[in-house]
Structure 1
Amino acid sequence: MKKTLHLWHHYLGLVVAIPLIIISLTGSILVFKEEFDHWLMPELAVVEGETGKRLSYDELRAELNNQLQGYEIGSWEVFDDGITADRVYVLKHGTSEWFKVYLDQYQGVVRSEPVAVNHYLTDWLLDLHYKFLIGDTGLWVTGVASLILLFMGISGLIIYRQFWKKFFTLRLKVKRIALFSDIHKLVGIWSAPVLLVIGFTGVYWNISEIIHHELEHGEEHQTVITERLYNHQLSLDKMIAESTQQMGGFRPTYLLFPYEPELQVTFFGEVSNTSFVTSEYASMVTFNKQTGERMPNYDIREAPFFLVAVDSFRKLHFGYFAGLPSRVIWCLIGLTPLIFAITGCYLWLKRRRPKKRAMKVAQPI
């Protein structure tokens, strides 16, 4: 059993090495996506404003509609830290294509022209990390890679089930093959818990996204935007105020507008008195897109355990649940598949050579 598991661990690792390296390296970079955006393009991603001094949502929406004629707002990422610009995703009239702009929420100025959602470097890396730049087909690739990562983490712990005995074992004054073997095992032992979390959450998201696309978009039907699909006279500020009143402590972080006929106006956000792994999009308030009447809201504090656990996947996957320390750890762990690939391939090649030599010796002359 152990030998069979070791073979599966070994060969699956070789097969999926390159995809896992790509996913892991891009993931390590994306842990600090905001910082990279601020550094690479401060003229777009960085604003200068005092926290709490945002313009009203109605004012900002009016400016967006005025400065982006020919486009409709689809979704809107909200920031109020005095540093990060809002990110708004829009659809071009006559198409179903999404574009991205940066909005200075303190001055009411659109900082950029609409560009493809993977136009900027970190957005391109996100697309590479998530879909390998090949659209929905990439979901299957990353899904399989995440599933194999999960298997390798579990199988590695089973193969080296007495791992606690070598928790700090690294022999330096030995042959290279023994050193690489120790490095492979030691890195695997230390990184396994985090890699299992990352692998499991990645598998769940990919499977969920694949099911969503197959069930809801299986016929490749996409709505072409030609006009606003909601009552533009509705006040966003009034709806947000009602959301805060109905769900104490609610703070909007993501606004979703109807870009398909069946969608309503929805605000995602965070509330007080939640777990440290509860995401900033955990709760939701929805309003009728024509009348503005509030529909049943979703408060994460009243949700069943399963949904609370699923919501925690966001912070657990990207590692920002404990601030900078957890992000640094997640970033470093993201580099371990590169170490596994180097050491694993070296061990595989070294162990194959003696077998080949033995076969040549055994051949009759």
Structure 2
Amino acid sequence: MMNRWMSVVRQSPNGVDAWRAARLSRLKARRKLWLEVHGWLGLILGFCLAIFGITGSVLVFYEETDDWLNPGVIALANLVEGQEHFRPVDDIVEAARSVMPDRAQIGSIIYPRHDRRAYQFFYRVVTDNESTPELRHVFVNPYTAEVTGTRAVIERGRWLPDGFVPFMFQLHFALLAGNTGAVVVGIMGVISIISVLTGLIVWWPLTGKWRRALTIKRAASPERLNHDVHQTFGFYTALIMLAVLLSGVYMNLPDHFKVPVKLLSPNSRSFTDNPQSSPAAGRSPIGLDRALASVRRSYPEGRVNWLRLPEGETGVYTISIRDVPGLSRFWSERRLTVDQYSGAILTVHDPDTRTAAGDTFLDWMWPLHSGKVFGWPGRILIFVTGLACPVLYVTGVVRWLQKRRAKRSKKPPRPAGWGEARNRITGRSN
């Protein structure tokens, strides 16, 4: 094929122009195919992507929103003196357990991120139908160890969760459809990544008119304005959109997502570490307070972020510490596991102890998705990108309708005598 075109170039004084014109024609034909793919993917998934974008923008500030909407339950209004006056964590755990049924299991505990916030417990309540357990939140005052409130996130017989923030999370994560919805949303995320990539292919200026591809024309016609808005919003948010979609797929389909990561980075500690406690006769669990004290003796810097209790006899305490000075300028988290009987620190997972690229890749998924990896600028970028999703959907639909009307207006004229033939067939008179 290349030899044939080079022959044309040699034989014709305008061979170079002819070759460029032919190449451009091929690229435009290929671009038209990708435009069709991009258009149909947008029409099929665009509405759901708009929902994910809006809810994601809201959830960028979910902690602040939850505090604001739940005074006295999550945000404490009474005068406080600091975390040194917190009740023992074991007392806090016992208070939360006192309002939960016997079959309830603690998933994780969110430590107060400031002096005026309650502990937040995530409980999994096993029901008769074990495939769909109930999920509930319990809030406990850190100074008095009193339960300030509870709410149902997933409960049998109820379609909507309690509270605005849980509603946003369930809509964003699973379209309010439970585990099945989470899988569907994950698959939508994969297809949406393809949609963004095809959009970049369609956006690429084949004629080199980069300014037109990167800006919105002033005083443009409505059709051109709609096209430019769709194009520029899509381009300037594409990189962040891809990161958010990829991390979202990981959170919805973690087992499937980890398969290629494990193939590419089999030595990652995420796949090789399996810390376990060592039970022995006569020893009983030390309790969360002593486990936390053991960690803080070795790692006093930073703030406690979340805690997780052991599951079973060989389970371990897991403690996350955030904002560790000098650890990382982007996402400074250190996760430690502690033997539930001896208090010995079994593993330390932080940016300094990562052994493979797979660890770094997986550790960045949640910080990228939430925008917290870059602090407030990152959260604002995620917020803006989420709001771009409904803009892209609306302008995409408008663009599709414009093209549809244009095609209809370009229908060939009816042949002479068509009306007379129609009247004879239908029995109509002029």
Match of 1:28 in 2: 57
Match of 2:358 among 294, 297, 306: 306
- The CA deviation at 1:113 is 3.6
Q: What RMSD over aligned residues (CA atoms) do the two structures have, in Å?
A: 2.8
- The CA deviation at 1:100 is 1.1
Separation in structure 1 between the aligned mates of residue 146 and residue 339 of structure 2, nearest angstrom: 27
Q: Which runs of 5+ in 1 are unaligned?
A: 213-230
- The CA deviation at 1:259 is 5.1
The answer to whether 1:101 aligns with 2:138 is yes
Match of 1:16 in 2: 45
The answer to whether 1:264 aligns with 2:316 is yes
Amino acid at match of 2:51: I
**Contact kept? 1:73, 1:89, Cα under 8 Å:** yes
Match of 1:56 in 2: 88
Of the structure 1 ranges 266-275 and 299-308, higher mean CA displacement relative to structure 2 is found in 266-275
1:209-228 alignment, distance < 5 Å: none
Separation in structure 1 between the aligned mates of residue 107 and residue 342 of structure 2, nearest angstrom: 17
The answer to whether 1:294 aligns with 2:337 is no
Change (3 A) 1:74 1:202: closer
Match of 1:351 in 2: 403
Structure 2 residue matching 1:112: 3-state secondary structure: strand
The answer to whether 1:145 aligns with 2:169 is no
Structure 2 residue matching 1:36: 3-state secondary structure: helix
Match of 1:218 in 2: none
1:152-301 alignment, distance < 5 Å: 152-162=195-205, 164-166=210-212, 169-208=215-254, 234-247=286-299, 249=301, 251-258=303-310, 263-270=315-322, 271-278=324-331, 280=333, 282-288=334-340, 291-294=341-344, 296-300=346-350, 301=352
**Contact kept? 2:112, 2:119, Cα under 8 Å:** yes
Amino acid at match of 1:62: E
Give identity over the alignment, percent.
23
**Contact kept? 1:38, 1:45, Cα under 8 Å:** yes
Separation in structure 1 between the aligned mates of residue 126 and residue 37 of structure 2, nearest angstrom: 51
- TM-score, with length taken from structure 2: 0.72
Separation in structure 1 between the aligned mates of residue 45 and residue 114 of structure 2, nearest angstrom: 40
**Contact kept? 1:287, 1:295, Cα under 8 Å:** yes
Separation in structure 1 between the aligned mates of residue 203 and residue 45 of structure 2, nearest angstrom: 21
Alpha-carbon displacement from aligned partner over 1:143-188 (angstroms, at most 9, x marks no partner): 1222233222222222222485336521232221111001111111
Amino acid at match of 1:152: S
Structure 1 residue matching 2:396: 3-state secondary structure: helix
- The CA deviation at 1:33 is 0.7
Q: Which runs of 5+ in 2 are unaligned?
A: 1-29, 155-160, 259-282, 419-430
Alpha-carbon displacement from aligned partner over 1:285-343 (angstroms, at most 9, x marks no partner): 1324xx34536213212012321232122121111233333322221210111111111
Change (3 A) 1:192 1:87: same
Separation in structure 2 between the aligned mates of residue 260 and residue 138 of structure 1, nearest angstrom: 30
Match of 1:327 among 376, 379, 392: 379
Structure 1 residue matching 2:149: 3-state secondary structure: coil
Higher gyration radius (CA): 2
Amino acid at match of 1:143: G
Separation in structure 2 between the aligned mates of residue 128 and residue 286 of structure 1, nearest angstrom: 35
Separation in structure 2 between the aligned mates of residue 38 and residue 6 of structure 1, nearest angstrom: 45
The answer to whether 1:82 aligns with 2:115 is yes
Amino acid at match of 1:60: I
Alignment length (residue pairs)? 344
Separation in structure 1 between the aligned mates of residue 163 and residue 342 of structure 2, nearest angstrom: 35
Structure 2 residue matching 1:296: 3-state secondary structure: strand
Change (3 A) 1:345 1:94: closer
